[in-house]
A and B are shown apart, each in its own frame.
Chain A
Amino acid sequence: MFQVSQVLNILQVAAFLGVVATGQTLALLAGGIDLSVAGVVTMANIVSTGLMAGRDGNMFIAVGTCILVAAVVGLINGLMITIVRVAPLIATLGMNSFLFGAALVYTNGAPHGGIAPGFAFFGQGHLMAFPISTVCWLVVALTIAWITRRTVFGRQLYAVGASATAAQMMGIPARRIVIVAYILSSVMAVLGGLLITSYIGSPSLGIGDQFLLSSIAATIVGGTALTGGIGSIVGTIGGTIFVTELNSFTNIVRVSTALNSLLQGVVIALSVLLYRFVGVSRTSLTPQ
């Protein structure tokens, strides 16, 4: 159905969502949810373009600052959830609102600046026709996939997500695991924000909004459970491509925006139901 150019275009655009959804997967695996990713993406866009101000020399300080701020945001999210015992939904939604307000205060509603010319390579460049943004996404996602599957931290993350109490009784530092998951989620969101900033080149106060629900949709469609402890980063890669392809498809076909949304909602719901059905079938076939 799609030409090569369309596939490459989808992969290029999917990278932004893919990196953010990678972090969202970690938050969901830990038994929580991260609604602050939209604010973090906007923060990355505003801070990076403001600090770069179109000069290559400012690139590293801008990227470094964004990652540092994201780590602090993730740390605060994690502390609010584990120490203050605020529900993840409330804590991260509050942080999202705070970050949007901070962006408004920082810019006074009039964002300025632009990316460094050299920074455009990450969002707009190609390596033998393959988008660099996609390469960045796959490197980040596969690294995190390896961490979740092959390291002690990864196994502990699944255990805490399945049951924090049981994990704690087994001697797993559940609080620390959750805090690290939220820090990684924020850092992933900032990396996604930097990639889309590189793609677009200029500041925009509304740039992060699109990731709030789409990052959760991509993660859920990829098979990660909202209840925690079940799912995979590789599944999220598939979910991201699916959601982006669906968006792309509805952009191309001649339907109204209303029908677009309707179609997307139905297809996502059906895909989750199908996944559940297949998942249940497999479980029932597995010897107990």
Chain B
Amino acid sequence: MENQNYPGRYSRRQAIKFGATALGLGAFARAFPASADDIISKAKIVPVGETVSGAKYKKAGPFRIGFSNGFSGNTWRTECLYALKKEAGQHKEISDLIVVDGQGDIAKQVNDIENLVSQNVDAILCIPNSGSAVAPALRDATKQGVVTVPFNLPIDGEAWTAYTGTDPQKKGFELGKWLRGALGDTGKIVALGGLPGNSYTAAAWAGAQKAMEGSKIQVLAFKDASWEEDKAKVIMADLIAAYPQIDGVWCDGSQDAAGAMKALMDAKRPLVPVCGDDYNGLLKLYDQQKANYPKFNIGLLSEPSWESVVALHIALKLLNGEEVPKRQIIEPQLITSENYKKYLRADLPDGVFVDTDLTDDELKALFKS
């Protein structure tokens, strides 16, 4: 049955009903039982490494949960936080969800985590501003018996209770492999990454380079574009002026990809194969321009904004004394020209990240559209 509001695409709930079992979401359902039906990306959650026993964390509710958000200045974080609050509201055993914002400052986030411990929270969820600098604060919290679940961005060591997120190196490899295939093993590309020095981009680009080893693909330049359209467009405009031939663009975020494609359009150059994530702005651009540019193609791997919900479920399982894997790696399916319409949200702003468990009405309310 097609979604009545958007003919031709299925709702998340419908999509998952068709294929959840066949797609082998057993591991996913174990970690994310309450909301598995709401997920569009058909992502798998793969347990990695040892399991962690919840025996020493088991306690009677109600629970106080803390969330240390590294910063809150983009739409992915907004969706992520909304999903977390929504999920927490559905659990009667959670008495408080305390959210603190590190405002992009490592020192503030460390202090935030210490404050959460002093407020006697039972579990701390955390998106770290720094994989190395925030780890000691989580280690201290863990030592004091608090369940600590970093997620989304890589974190150093093992001195936290459990982790969930995507594997940036593997994602980078898959995106590189897709781009290599889209270019027929040869061509000149440029690469655009996220914030300068961030470990996610470094791992993703390392994976991409590995995927392109042995091909005739020449990397003209790698530049950090901060996952922002405006910066990516300015940098790409410079690269376009410098290099007469650019056959493809590798990005680890689709804000960069959208900015790069808009720069090509401004320069009256044809659009080319590009990779990235589930940023709606690129999906809309692809839908509008694919007929005008035969070589324009997309290969995207989402960064699910429902990672916060998975992290919360992990924390609750541990507080209930259950076992969980030490690491749970989320593996989304590739979005391409074949299946992009299922993800496209033409009725919503560019800033929406489409791999979300939020309903259409919730997204519209959130983005005031």
A199 to B234, CA, bound (A): 9
Q: Please state if B230 and A108 are interface contacts (CB–CB under 8 Å).
A: no
Instruction: From the candidates B75, B242, B349, name the one contacting A252 in the complex (CB within 8 A).
Output: B242
Q: How far is the CB of B280 from chain A (nearest CB, A)?
A: 10
Complex interface bits, B230-250 against A, C-beta within 8 A gives 1, otherwise 0: 110111011111100000000
> Contact at B78–A9, with CB atoms within 8 Å?
no
- How far apart are B65's CB and chain A's nearest CB, in angstroms? 20
B78 touches A251 (CB 8 A): no
Q: Give the complex CA separation of A114 and B368 in angstroms.
A: 13
Q: Are A200 and B229 in contact (CB under 8 A)?
A: yes
Which listed residue, A202, A207, A261, touches B281 by the CB 8 Å rule?
A202
**Candidates B197, B229, B368; contact of A257 at CB < 8 Å:** B197
Contact B239 A251 (CB under 8 A): yes
Q: Smallest Cβ distance from B222 to chain A, in angstroms?
A: 8
Q: Does B196 contact A (CB under 8 A)?
A: yes
Determine if B241 and A5 form an interchain contact, defined as CB atoms under 8 angstroms apart: yes
Query: Are A206 and B224 CB-contacts (below 8 A) given A104-B72, A108-B366, A110-B78?
Result: no
A210 contacts B366, C-beta separation under 8 Å: no
Q: Does A58 contact B (CB under 8 A)?
A: no
- Assess whether B233 is in contact with A251, with CB atoms less than 8 Å apart: no
Is there contact, CB below 8 Å, between B79 and A114?
A: no
Chain B residues 295 to 348 lying within 8 A of chain A, measured CB to CB, are none
User: Least Cβ distance of B83 to chain A in Å?
Assistant: 13
With A13-B234, A114-B350, A201-B262: A252-B79 Cβ-Cβ less than 8 Å: no
Which of A189-209 touch B at CB < 8 Å? 196, 199-207
A113–B239 alpha-carbon span in the complex (Å): 29
Interface size range of chain A in the complex: 35 or more
For residue A248, CB closer than 8 A to chain B, the reply is yes
Of A104, A200, A248, A254, the residue contacting B221 (CB under 8 A) is A254
* A252-B239 contact given A108-B78, A111-B351, CB 8 Å threshold: yes
A83 CB, min distance to chain B CBs, angstroms: 30
Taking a contact as CB atoms closer than 8 A, the residue among A5, A111, A113 that contacts B75 in the complex is: A111
Q: Measured between alpha carbons, how far is A110 from B186 in the docked complex, in Å?
A: 39
A111 contacts which of B81, B241, B259, B349 (Cβ < 8 Å)?
B349
Cα distance, A5 to B259, chains bound together (Å) = 19
Say yes or no: is A264 at the interface (Cβ < 8 Å to chain B). no
Q: Is A276 an interface residue (CB 8 A)?
A: no
Assess whether B72 is in contact with A210, with CB atoms less than 8 Å apart. Answer: no
In the complex, residue of chain B having the shortest beta-carbon distance to the beta carbon of A45? B230
**CA gap between A200 and B232 in the complex, in Å:** 10
* Contact residues in A for B197 (Cβ distance below 8 Å): 257-258
Smallest CB-CB separation from B368: which chain A residue?
A112
Chain A's closest residue to B193 (CB) is A257
A254 to B222, CA, bound (A): 8
- Smallest CB separation, B151 vs chain A (Å): 18
Q: Is the CB of A6 within 8 A of B262?
A: no
Q: Does A3 contact B (CB under 8 A)?
A: yes
In the bound assembly, the distance between CA atoms of A263 and B327 in angstroms comes to 40
Query: Is A13's CB under 8 angstroms from B230's CB?
Result: no
Please tell me if the beta carbons of B351 and A203 are within 8 angstroms of each other in the complex: yes
CA of A261 to CA of B240 in the docked complex: distance in angstroms? 21
- Partner of B350 from A109, A202, A247 at Cβ < 8 Å: A202
A93 CB to nearest B CB, Å: 14
Most buried by A among B233, B266, B281: B266
A3, A124, A200: which has the most chain B beta carbons within 10 Å? Answer: A200
Q: With the chains together, A31 CA to B224 CA distance in Å? A: 35
Given known contacts A111-B75, A112-B349, A196-B230, is B266 in contact with A124 (CB within 8 Å)?
A: yes
Assess the B237–A110 pair: CB atoms within 8 A. no
List of B residues within 8 angstroms of A6 by Cβ:
238, 241-242
State whether A252 touches B238 (Cβ < 8 A): yes
Give CA–CA (A140, B98) in the complex, Å: 48
User: Is B6 interfacial (CB-CB < 8 Å)?
Assistant: no
Contacts of B267 in A (CB 8 A): 5
Q: Is the CB of A206 within 8 A of B259?
A: no
Kindly state whether residue B367 has any CB partner on chain A within 8 Å: yes
| Interface mask (A80-113 → B, CB under 8 Å = 1, otherwise 0) | 0000000000000000000010001000111111
Q: A257 and B74: CB pair below 8 A?
A: no
Q: Which residues of the partner chain B approach A5 to less than 8 Å between Cβ atoms?
A: 241, 267
Residues of A within 8 A of B366 (CB): 108, 110
- Residue contact A257 to B349, C-beta cutoff 8 Å: no
Pick the contact of B223 from A108, A251, A261 — CB < 8 Å?
A251
B109 within 8 A of A: no
Q: Please, which residues of chain A bring their CB within 8 A of the CB of B240?
A: 9
A194 CB to closest chain B CB, in angstroms? 13
Q: Take A110-B351, A251-B223, A254-B221 as given contacts and tell me if A200 and B259 are in contact as well, using a CB distance cutoff of 8 Å.
A: yes
- Within the complex, what minimum Cβ distance (angstroms) separates B32 from chain A? 23
10 A-B pairs with CB atoms under 8 Å apart are A3-B241, A110-B349, A111-B75, A114-B349, A114-B350, A204-B230, A206-B73, A207-B228, A210-B231, A257-B197
For the complex of A and B, 8 pairs with smallest distance between CB atoms: A109-B78, A6-B241, A251-B238, A252-B242, A257-B196, A112-B349, A200-B230, A257-B224
Q: Give 19 new A-B contacts, CB below 8 A, not counting A109-B77, A252-B221, A252-B239.
A: A9-B238, A9-B240, A10-B238, A109-B75, A110-B78, A110-B351, A110-B366, A110-B368, A111-B351, A200-B233, A200-B259, A202-B351, A204-B228, A204-B230, A205-B74, A206-B73, A251-B235, A251-B239, A251-B242
